Structure 1
């Protein structure tokens, strides 16, 4: 059984005023195996953000379901989702009135963990992410790359079954982006399952598989295999070009 199963997913948005309907997702099906690093790509309006929001249980599908280890996410309580899913946002979503340590610990605070237990989890994670020295600082006192590392710590602190990332390098400069992508690669190699939505071909080239979404459907997928990131980048570029040409012919 796959770790994440997406079955016959549909999402239709209806306008209250005009009565028109827009189908954002149309019969989406795919699996993510434990330990995979999967990227999802597509043009603006393709449905990839809607898909990610449904996978994160932030939105509900019109039809279909999402199963995490066989459990229907749409029917689970918020506490289950908080414990089993980690989410990394493009704009970090850190609280400026909290220290970086308090931001990273927030999911455990909400779960009412005891402080010694929380610190036992945070200390090795902070070392892995290279944020030990900035835990006492506030988000506005550190760089964008450091903020994203804190948000990754917050996402990983509950040891989630899957880490979801929405354009995690979108607000970063090239050097910070590469640092975050190398970090994702390392934690994936240690066993963390990752699903990332991105516009960036470079970011996608770090994944082991890329799913391409077009007009609300899974259009194509490619696997990295034994290729280098630069070779995979070229394959991603060719696929995106093919998708755009098919759109022109249509």
Structure 2
């Protein structure tokens, strides 16, 4: 059974002045299987961020439905959404979203603290994760004391320590240099190989090439998708780059 099912999702916004309607998502349908690594690409204004916000239960669709692990997200009451997100979803953002007054350790622990996980269990989850991310020596430092790449790895640890059903990444390499980006993408590769399901929104062809499947969004619809299959990273990079060229130059839709 698919871990994520998106069925005929539409999102219409009404502008504050003038009452004009903007159709951000038209009729989006796709599914993600357990253990898949899916990237979503598209130009600015294509609907990627709107879609991610709906998948993250931060916004609700105007029509259609989203199911996570078989549960209709539209049925979850507003007061239960925060707990649902903590239990099922991990988030990695472009701007890290770390609290400057918390050490890296406390930032990583935060979702577990909010969920009432015992301290002993938090510690047992922390050690192998921070060793894998190579930040075990930085845990007592504060976000302003470490590099952007180290901040993003701490943010990844915070997302993964909850053992989420789905890891959502929003432009995770956007604020990183090429070396830090490479290390983060290698980390995503490793955790995906261990079974973690990942859905990443990105502008980066290099980042998208690491995924097993890439969905291209244009004008609020799924325009095209490609699979990596047995392709090398370099071959997938070329396929993604070619598809983005078609997308931005007005090719035909192949959903």
Q: Which residue of 2 aligns with 1:53?
A: 53
1:154 to 150, 158, 181: 158
Question: In structure 2, what is the Cα distance between the partners aligned to 1:32 and 1:247?
Answer: 25
Asked if the contact 1:9/1:29 (under 8 Å) is kept, the reply is yes
Aligned counterparts of 1:86 and 1:75: Cα–Cα separation in 2 = 20
CA distance in structure 2 between the aligned counterparts of 1:112 and 1:210, rounded to whole angstroms:
36
**Gaps in structure 1 of 5+ consecutive residues:** none
Length-normalised TM-score, structure 2: 0.95
Q: Secondary structure at the match of 2:250?
A: helix
Displacement, 1:16? 2.4
Paired residue secondary structure (1:31) = strand
Once superposed, what is the RMSD of the aligned Cα atoms?
A: 1.1
3-state SS of paired residue (1:59): coil
Aligned to 1:83: 87
Q: Provide the secondary structure at the position in 2 that maps to 1:125.
A: helix
Deviations 1:53-85 (A, max 9, x none): 110111111111110111012323221221110
Please give the secondary structure, in 1, of the residue aligned with 2:35. coil
**Corresponding position of 1:199:** 203
Instruction: Kindly state the Cα deviation for residue 114 of structure 1 after the two structures are TM-superposed.
Output: 1.6
The residue number in structure 2 matching 1:109 is 113
TM-score scaled by structure 1? 0.97
8 Å contact from structure 2 (residues 12, 24) kept in 1: yes
1:244 Cα deviation (Å)? 2.0
Partner residue of 1:64? 64
* Contact 1:73–1:81 (8 Å) recurs in 2: no
How do residues 75-224 of structure 1 correspond to structure 2 at under 5 angstroms?
75-76=75-76, 77=80, 78-224=82-228
Contact 2:6–2:31, Cα closer than 8 Å, also in 1: yes
1:40 equivalent in structure 2: 40
Unaligned 5+ segments in structure 2 are none
